[in-house]
Amino acid sequence: MGILGFGYDHCSDDYKLARITDYRIYVYSLRNGFWRKVKDFPEHCIHEVMGHTTQLNGAIHWLYFRYDAADWYSRSLEIAAFSLADEKLRKIPLPTSSNNCQLLVFEGCLYVHNLHDALWVMKEYGVYKSWTKLDIKVPFRNTLEPLGLLGNDEVLLLDHNRFSHEVW
């Protein structure tokens, strides 16, 4: 079991598929035509990948749970970013301590939507202090995809389960 992420590496002019499974990352290069293991997660903790991947700024992003080796009941949700160019794994801190989040990419920015109806945007990629909480109340459903900000604290959402548009 695992998740897949697909993206374009502009440095090598190659499309790559990243597979995250068994606490390892494998990359398939369309140019080379084969899989290879490129990274293990740190051994001092166990990770549980959740949700789906998103691509932004040449990296594949996903949410994962990091468990504390000293306290197996303690876990924290984090964002992993896997760069397709240098094939390095980086951590991006979340703006919220909620363990029920959805990761989105919209208009060139990372968004985090948590269970408490908060929508956060990272206005400057990779800069923790740029996380900004939006005053838009959005119901939490992992089938929602933002289509546009309408102003007046409204966002246009597509609900993939309902095949309809809603304004919140």
Both tokens of 157, joined, read 């959402």
pTM above 0.85, yes or no: no
Residue with tokens 């992993």: 80
Tell the CATH superfamily of the 2-141 domain.
Kelch-type beta propeller (2.120.10.80)
Q: What are the pLDDT tens digits along the chain (168 aa)? A: 577 889 999 999 999 998 877 678 899 999 999 999 987 766 545 556 666 788 999 999 988 877 766 776 777 788 889 999 999 888 898 888 777 788 888 888 898 877 666 778 899 998 999 998 886 666 555 566 666 666 666 667 777 666 544 444
Q: At residue 88, what is the residue type?
A: K
The CB-based long-range contact list for 34-38 (8 Å cut-off, 24+ gap) reads 38/87
The domain limits of the chain are: 2-141
Beta strands 131-134 and 119-122, pairing class: antiparallel
DSSP state letter for 99 = S
- Distance between first and last Cα of the chain: 35
